[in-house]
Amino acid sequence: MSLLAVRNLTKRFGGNTAVDDISFDLEAGELLALIGPNGAGKSTTFNMMGGQLPASSGSVRFDGRELLGMPSRRIAHQGIGRTFQIAATFASFTVLENVQMALLSHHRQVYSFWRPAIGRHRDEALRLLEQVGMGSQAGRPCSELAYGDVKRVELAMSLAGKPRLLLMDEPTAGMAPAERNALVALVKSLVLQNDMAVLFTEHSMDVVFAYADRIIVLARGQLIAQGSAQQIRAHPKVQEVYFGTGKTFETLAPGATPP
């Protein structure tokens, strides 16, 4: 049985079928990219899986349990984490405090402003920050960080819930190419270390082809291809939907800097 089994998932907005009968699986230890041109249905798929949007029909089973119909908070407590396109850190709080608050939330403890979280889950928060390479910045306010570092803090926060599956919606949006590669390389190493599964949407083909174990491609709501980077790059339907969008499918030489 797959860790995640999506079957015949469909979302209609009035007469527009945004996600049209898609099915795919995801296994533990796998980094799966969901790609497709603008309006393909990627965010809608994520929002149905995370409980932010009701599906019109279909099924999403995680470890055999149906997620559709569950509220998002309950989905999170099944062991599914989610990061959003907009970084969700508190700017005036330190890096460490942000991760401590995520841990408090995971343990369903209430943060109160007159009794700060300082001291609670400190060691665990520092351990998570070390995992994402931010241990040395623990005492800095998030407002002072470079954007790429904020995304690392956000990643540490999403790990606070010990997810077995992490949904990452455009984790590298707004990042420079070198930062993008570093972040996805980090995610890949976390997948292997923690035996997690990650499903991510991404517009930069360079990071998708460099790091994803498998790729699924949506176009106008339909799943038009799935497979390895090599299979996707050579797939005629994929080439057709991306033709004219300026996206390229060349492989980078090892160690080369992407455009």
Q: Alpha-carbon distance 146 to 153, whole Å?
A: 11
Residues 6+ positions from 46 with CB-CB distance below 8 Å: 34, 52, 82, 167, 169, 199, 201
> Rule CB under 6 A: is residue 13 a binding residue for ligand ATP?
yes
- Name which of residues 41 to 60 contact ligand ATP (CB under 6 A): 41-44
Nearer to ligand ATP, 195 or 240 (CB): 240
Q: Which stretch binds ligand ATP (CB under 6 A): 37-45, 69-77, 101-109, 148-156?
A: 37-45
Does residue 211 contact residue 184 with C-beta atoms inside 8 Å? yes
Tell me which of 7, 23, 28, 39 binds ligand ATP, using CB under 6 A: 39
Strand 214-219 and strand 31-35: pairing?
Answer: parallel
Tell me which of 40, 132, 160, 190 binds ligand ATP, using CB under 6 A: 40
Q: Binders of ligand ATP: how many residues, by CB under 6 A? A: 11
Compute φ and ψ for 160, nearest 5 degrees.
-60, -30
> Rule CB under 6 A: is residue 16 a binding residue for ligand ATP?
yes
Q: In what order do the strands lie in the sheet with 57-62?
A: 16-26, 4-13, 57-62, 65-66
CA terminus-to-terminus distance, the chain: 40
* Residue 197 to residues 11, 40, 75, 188, Cα–Cα distance (Å): 24, 23, 15, 10
> Rule CB under 6 A: is residue 98 a binding residue for ligand ATP?
no
CB of 41 to ligand ATP, least distance (A): 4
Nearer to ligand ATP, 97 or 169 (CB): 169
Nearer to ligand ATP, 41 or 50 (CB): 41
Nearer to ligand ATP, 42 or 121 (CB): 42
Q: Which stretch binds ligand ATP (CB under 6 A): 11-19, 101-109, 133-141, 191-199?
A: 11-19
Residue 222, helix vs strand vs coil: strand
> Rule CB under 6 A: is residue 36 a binding residue for ligand ATP?
yes
Q: Alpha-carbon distance 108 to 131, whole Å?
A: 23
Q: Which residues bind ligand ATP (CB under 6 A)?
A: 13, 16, 18, 36, 38-44
